Amino acid sequence: MQSKSDFTADSNIKVSDTMQLFMVSLLKDVLVHPENLNSGKKQLKAYCENEYLTYRVVEHELDLFLALLADYRSTNSPVLYYFLRLQAQSCFVGEHLFAFLPIEAPEGDYQLNCPEHSSYCPGTEAGSSVYLGGMVGGHLLGL
Amino acid sequence: MEDTCWVCNDITMTQPSLAAFHVLWTKPSVVSARPFGMTDSEILTMIISALMWQKLNGTIKLYTDNTGYAFIEKHGLLHLWNGGVDAELLEMNNYPIDPEIFWAAGKLMALEVQYTPCVMLDTDLIIMRPLYELLAQTAITALHPEKLEEDVYLSPALLKQAAGFSFPSCYNWEVLPSNTAFLYIRDESFRNYYLQESKRFMFYNKERPMEFVSQMVFAEQRLLSICAHDCRLSVDHLLADPFSSSNETVIHLWGFKRLLRENANLEAVYCKQLIKTIGKELASNGFFQDYIQSHFSYE
C-alpha cells in the first residue's frame, strides 16, 4: 500500500498549517529537551492520524532529521546544513519555518555556488566543503 | 526519429540518437586488494544517469570486467543499459598500464573501440537535457574547463615518465585542461590521435606519483586539450563554470561522493532528494519505479 507520505509516491505532500506548526513546536522542544522525544512522538502519532499520514514514515523522516542535525552540530559543515534544511521539508518544516528552529547557520560564507574554483580531485572535495563538497548542479536537486 | 526505450516502452526522443557509454573498471580496486563496491547513492546516481540519457539522448552501453559484471548482476542491473553490457573488452585488455596510477584508463580503453561520434559519460554524472543540437555543432565537447593548478596539473618536468619517453615539442602547455566526466568526440581521427598520445604516456609508466591524481589527469584531461590544440580543434564545454547557478544541464557528484560515503544520514537525504526531483522525469519508467520501490520505499 502506498501512503501519501511515501517519498517514492508523492514528493509534494500537503499538510495543514496546524500540522506544520506542531512539527516546529515539536522540534523546538526536542532540540532543547531531547528527553521529550518519546512524548512528542506520541502526539505526532495523533497528528498523523488526523492528516491521514503514515506515522511510521513521518517518524522515519523525523529521526533522519535529528540524526543529521547531530552530525551537523558535531561538524558545523555547511554541506550538512543545506541538507538539513532539505530534510526539514520532509518533516513539513519549510524554509520560512526552519528559521524558527534553534539551529545556527554555519559560520562564514557558505554560498552554494563558487564561480572561482574548479579542481579535478575525485575523492576529495573540490575547493571547499562550502561548495556542496564539490557537487556540480546541486541547485537542480533543490539545494 | 522517435526512439522507444525498451526498458519502459516510453517514446520520448524526437531527435537522432547519440551513443554514449559508461565504464565500470574494477581493476584499480582489485589490484590494490580493495574489494570493489559502490554505495547506494552511487548506484542510484548511475541508474538515473543511464535512464536519463536513454530518455533524452539515445543509447548507452556499459563496459565493465568480470568483477563489475558480477556486481551489476547481483544488483539486478544487467538490463539497465539499452546498448547492452560488454564485459570482455576490459577483462581481456592487457595494455601495460598501471591501474592504480591510471585508475580511469578503462574509460580510454572503451573509447578506443567506440564508433564516433560518441559520448563518454561518467556514472556519477546525470545529463538533464537533450544535447543533440548542441553537440551537432562541435567536434569536441567536454564537461568544463579546468584551471591549471600546479599541484594538480604538474609541469612536464615533474610528471613521471617511462624510460625513453619524451614530450613532443608541439605540445602547448598553456591550454586549459578539460574535465572529461562528459566527453563528446565527433571524429575518429581526433579520437585516435588523443588515445595514441594518452597511451604513449601511460604505457610502462609505473613510477608512483606523490599525489593521487597528477598522472591520470594529465593522461586524460590535459592531453585532450593539448591534442585538440595541436589539431587546431576547439574544445567546447557544457559548462563554462562547474558551479554556475545557471547550469540547467548537469548534475555531477564529483568529490561529493566522499562525503556521501562518510555519512549515512547525508546519503539517505541525498538519495531521497534525487528521487523526488529527478525521479519525476522517470515516473513512467518501469525499471526505475521497480528499483525505487524495492530499495527505497518505507512501506
Residue A6 resides in a domain: no
Query: Are residue A64 and residue A132 in the same domain, yes or no?
Result: no
Residue B184, all three cell numbers: 563528446
Query: Are residue A96 and residue A29 in the same domain, yes or no?
Result: yes
Q: Check if the beta carbon of residue B117 is closer than 8 Å to that of residue B96.
A: no
Instruction: Please indicate whether, in this complex, the C-beta atoms of A120 and B292 are within 8 angstroms of each other.
Output: no
**Residue A4 — very low, low, confident or very high, per pLDDT cuts 50/70/90?**
very low
Nearest to A135 among B254, B275, B276 (CB): B254
Which pLDDT score, from 0 to 100, does residue A109 have? Answer: 53
pLDDT of A54-109, one tens digit each? 999 999 999 999 999 999 999 998 899 999 999 999 999 999 999 999 999 987 65
Q: Which residue has the cell 613510477?
A: B207
Residue B78 resides in a domain: yes
Q: How many domains does chain A have?
A: 2
Residue B4 resides in a domain: no
- Spell out which residues of chain A touch residue B214, defining contact as CB-CB under 8 Å: none
Give the contacts of B239 (CB within 8 A, at least 6 positions apart).
A136, B143, B144, B247, B249, B250
Task: Provide the residue-wise pLDDT of chain B in tens; the chain has 299 residues.
Answer: 444 444 444 545 667 899 999 999 999 999 999 999 999 999 999 999 999 999 999 999 999 999 999 999 999 999 999 999 999 999 999 999 999 999 999 999 999 999 999 999 999 999 999 999 999 999 999 999 999 999 999 999 999 999 999 999 999 999 999 999 999 999 999 999 999 999 999 999 999 988 779 999 999 999 999 999 999 999 999 999 988 888 999 999 988 999 999 999 999 999 999 999 998 899 999 999 999 999 987 65
Give the contacts of A63 (CB within 8 A, at least 6 positions apart).
none
Query: Are residue A64 and residue A120 in the same domain, yes or no?
Result: no
Domain span at B102: 14-292
Q: Which residue has the cell 554555519?
A: A106
Chain B touched by A133 (CB under 8 Å): yes
Q: Check if the beta carbon of residue B15 is closer than 8 Å to that of residue B132.
A: yes
- Spell out which residues of chain B touch residue A119, defining contact as CB-CB under 8 Å: 146-147, 149, 152
Query: Are residue A127 and residue A57 in the same domain, yes or no?
Result: no
Residue A39 resides in a domain: yes
Q: Which of B194, B95, B79 is nearest to B140 (CA)?
A: B194
Which pLDDT score, from 0 to 100, does residue A108 have? Answer: 64
Residue B189 resides in a domain: yes
Query: Are residue A28 and residue A60 in the same domain, yes or no?
Result: yes
Nearest C-alpha in A relative to B212:
A121
In angstroms, the separation between the Cα of residue B153 and the nearest Cα of chain A is 9
Residue B270 resides in a domain: yes
Q: What is the ipTM of this complex?
A: 0.89
Instruction: Please indicate whether, in this complex, the C-beta atoms of B269 and A135 are within 8 angstroms of each other.
Output: no
Residue A60 resides in a domain: yes
Query: Are residue A98 and residue A35 in the same domain, yes or no?
Result: yes
Query: Are residue A127 and residue A85 in the same domain, yes or no?
Result: no
Domain span at A67: 17-103
Query: Are residue A89 and residue A26 in the same domain, yes or no?
Result: yes
Residue B2 resides in a domain: no
Query: Are residue A116 and residue A67 in the same domain, yes or no?
Result: no
Residue A97 resides in a domain: yes
Domain CATH for B124: 3.90.550
Query: Are residue A118 and residue A81 in the same domain, yes or no?
Result: no
The Cα-based distances of A129 to B44, B121, B152, B242 in angstroms read: 23, 25, 18, 15
Residue A25, all three cell numbers: 513546536
Q: How many CB pairs under 8 A join A and B?
A: 151
Residue A125 resides in a domain: yes
Residue B6 resides in a domain: no
Residue A68, all three cell numbers: 543529521
Chain B touched by A39 (CB under 8 Å): no
Query: Are residue A83 and residue A111 in the same domain, yes or no?
Result: no
Query: Are residue A113 and residue A98 in the same domain, yes or no?
Result: no
Q: Is pLDDT above 50 for A133?
A: yes
Q: How many domains does chain B have?
A: 1
